[in-house]
Amino acid sequence: MAKKPAKAAKPKTDHTRPVGPAVSRIPPGRVPDLRPLHGRWVVLSPLDTVKHGGALYRSFAGGPQADSLWTYMAYGPFLEEQAFALWLAEKEKSRDPWFYALVPRGAEAAGMASFLRADPANGVIEIGNIWLAPALQKTRAATEAIFLLMRHAFEELGVRRLEWKCDALNAPSRRAADRFGFTFEGVFRQHMVIKGRNRDTAWYAITDAEWPEIRHAFEGWLAPENFSSDGTEKAKLRVPGAGAKAAPGTESRGKTHVG
């Protein structure tokens, strides 16, 4: 009489060692497709050198931040429009990072942002390469642009974790991360060499469990009734936990934007 095949042994669980909780929602594995992201005050449009190049260059060229805008970036400053256009053309073709032009309603493109370092299997992505021309800084359109990236990441790409990283010396970017509800997670020392100088990188993140409360705070702040006729905010953006999560020395001081 033939013997029955032996049953495969079940893997044993070692209950003496702590392990993380089971993941109930496996990441869908999506990456950005550069669809336009439409807001009330701003549109994030896939970067197009012909369409956006001239306006982007004019937004900072010859101004007081023509050099300082690029202090903590891996590129720039751009002293000639041709050099800027060549750089833009390269970024337009990129597919990680994925670059957007920030176009305020009724105005020309005045900044850029991107998704980068996508890890679709684990549901992780970063937003970065953010620069805002002086005319866009400290505006509701600038804040909404960040909100649109966050909402797209969590609700359409289905990420579990959204990251924000910056030079640890970039105080405006660190205050912005805090204001937007990102949790400070530490500093990676000697992480990069940027323009021949050392960069220690400050890491921040938001998880999908935190997103619903953060979204609610953004939606309340962005509501038309929160602004006077000249665009001045009536109430400040109050994201749950902001300030309490700040890294030492970077406590939020009002409205601060990357750039």
> Which residue from 138, 136, 139 is spatially nearest to 55, judged by alpha carbons?
136
For residues 123-127, give the mean pLDDT.
Answer: 98
- Kindly state whether residue 44 falls inside one of the protein's structural domains: yes
Residue 251 has pLDDT above 60, yes or no: no
109, part of any domain: yes
Q: Which residue range(s) make up the domain with 109?
A: 37-226
Average pLDDT, the chain: 91
Interatomic CA distance for residues 237 and 219, integer angstroms = 10
Confidence class of residue 166 from pLDDT cuts 50, 70 and 90? very high
Please report whether residue 113 resides in a domain. yes
Does 21 map to a domain? no
- Please compute the mean of the pLDDT values over residues 39-43 and round it to a whole number: 98
In a domain, 20, yes or no: no
pLDDT at 249: 54
Confidence band of 240 (pLDDT split at 50, 70, 90): confident
Cβ neighbour number for residue 48 with a 10 Å cutoff: 14
Query: Do residues 140 and 132 lie in contact, with contact meaning Cβ atoms separated by under 8 Å?
Result: no
Per the domain annotation, does 211 fall within a domain? yes
The verdict on residue 108 lying in a domain is yes
Question: Considering the entire predicted model, what is its pTM?
Answer: 0.88
Number of domains in the chain: 1
Instruction: Say yes or no to pLDDT of 172 above 50.
Output: yes
Would you state the structure tokens that stand for residue 71, as one six-digit string? 């202090």
- DSSP helix/strand/coil, 28: coil
Q: Does a structural domain hold residue 154?
A: yes
The model's confidence at residue 5, banded by pLDDT at 50, 70 and 90, is low
pLDDT tens figures, 48-93: 999 999 999 999 999 999 999 999 999 999 999 999 999 999 999 9
Residue 258: name the closest of 73, 44, 82, 23 by CA.
73
Identify the pLDDT of residue 117. Answer: 98
CATH number assigned to the domain comprising residue 117: 3.40.630.30
